[in-house]
């Protein structure tokens, strides 16, 4: 009985953790999309957005396509600041 309760609690904790990570990812993604689309290109904003995109890519859950599209949009807009 105790092992069943422990197993159930483990699954609940894993489910809650996943939901919290998904919510954090969505909030970060929305913020980064706004930054890429609306911030004016400059070396300072380039560095800030690179940091945000890297963080976003690190805790990307199940959505690599949207992240790749955002990177492409970023590279197109900030092409004059990218290292060639």
pLDDT in tens, 11-36: 999 999 989 988 888 898 899 999 99
What are the counts of helices (DSSP H) followed by strands (DSSP E) for the chain?
3, 0
pTM for the model stands at 0.74
Q: What pLDDT was estimated at residue 80?
A: 82
Domain residue limits, the chain: 22-81
**Per-residue pLDDT tens for 58-84?**
877 677 888 889 989 998 988 887 765
83 or 41, greater pLDDT? 41
83 or 39, greater pLDDT? 39
């Amino acid at each position: 009985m105790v092992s069943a309760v422990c197993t159930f609690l483990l699954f609940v904790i894993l489910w809650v953790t996943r939901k919290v990570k998904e919510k954090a990812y969505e909030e970060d993604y929305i913020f980064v999309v706004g930054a890429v689309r609306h911030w004016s290109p400059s070396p300072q904003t380039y560095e800030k957005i690179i940091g945000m995109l890297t963080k976003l890519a690190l805790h990307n859950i199940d959505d690599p396509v949207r992240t790749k599209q955002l990177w492409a949009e970023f590279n197109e807009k900030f092409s004059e600041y990218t290292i060639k």
